[in-house]
Amino acid sequence: MSATGRTLGIAAAWAGALVLAACQNDAGPSRCFESGATSYAFHVPGDTTAWFHWNQNEGAVRIYAEPAGTLPANTDAAIALWAGAFRCGEIGFARWNDSAGADIVLRTTASSPPVAPNVRSFAADSLNACRGRTDVAFDTLDRIERPIRSYVWPQGVDPAATTVCYTFVTAHELGHGLGLFQHSLDTADLMYSVPRRVALSPNDRFTIQVLYNTASVLSAEPR
């Protein structure tokens, strides 16, 4: 698609999303959208004309969690959080036992893993207790490579603080894996760059709703 065609398509998509959002004020809350909330950016870093979400037609998003420590339980809690934000069946979730067949892979590491040259990374630091990072790789056709990989690792010396930190950093990184490729600027949001909460804010819910009700510009490589 040409740059002009892509820009027009994006404008139309955003216009459609804004019309749906505007219905909240004119005819009561739309059943698919959070009321009284604001959407933050979710585009690919450095390119405001490109964004991504998983395709509903492919079925549930397959999520693998490394069976280490509290990560499986934290992943299940994170899935429940994000699944609860969708009101119109925009996407489903499946816990996957095979990392090779997953769409999103979450792992715990001892420290920051190396970054491959073909990825774009999104990092979060939760008050020096732990850190998280999500890596999104692109193939030669500019498609999202499967799986999107997320990592969490300890940063502080207080085990209790690290354990608590893991709960919301895992949920934060899963938000990136679902296509929220930017950070919120509001400290009340889970997708703030320094996450401090385990629940989704109204803005978090509204933003993921807008994303999944807006045509994806980017696609993922076939399964």
What are the tens digits of pLDDT across the range 103-150? Answer: 999 999 999 999 988 899 988 888 789 999 999 999 999 999 999 999
In Å, how far are 2, 175, 180 from 31, measured between CA atoms? 35, 22, 21
**How many domains are contained in the chain?**
1
134 is a domain residue: yes
Share of the chain above pLDDT 70, in %: 87
Mean pLDDT of 81-89: 97
Q: What is the pTM (predicted TM-score) of this model?
A: 0.87
| Whether pLDDT at 84 is above 60 | yes
d(CA 27, CA 48): 30
152 is a domain residue: yes
Going by their DSSP bridges, the two strands 61-65 and 93-95 should be labelled as: parallel
221 is a domain residue: no
Q: Which has more pLDDT, 221 or 117?
A: 221
71 is a domain residue: yes
Q: Output the pLDDT for position 23.
A: 40
Which residue segment(s) compose the domain that 181 sits in?
Answer: 3-212
Q: Output the pLDDT for position 35.
A: 93
37 is a domain residue: yes
218 is a domain residue: no
Q: Which residues pair with 184 in a beta bridge?
A: 192
* CATH assignment of the domain containing 39: 3.40.390.10
Q: Output the pLDDT for position 128.
A: 87
d(CA 150, CA 137): 12
Q: 209: Cβ–Cβ under 8 A, 6 or more apart, which residues?
A: 32, 33, 34, 85, 86, 87, 90
Query: Mean pLDDT in the chain?
Result: 88
| Whether pLDDT at 44 is above 90 | yes
| Whether pLDDT at 202 is above 90 | yes
Q: Are 203 and 186 in contact (CB under 8 A)?
A: yes
| Whether pLDDT at 47 is above 80 | yes
220 is a domain residue: no
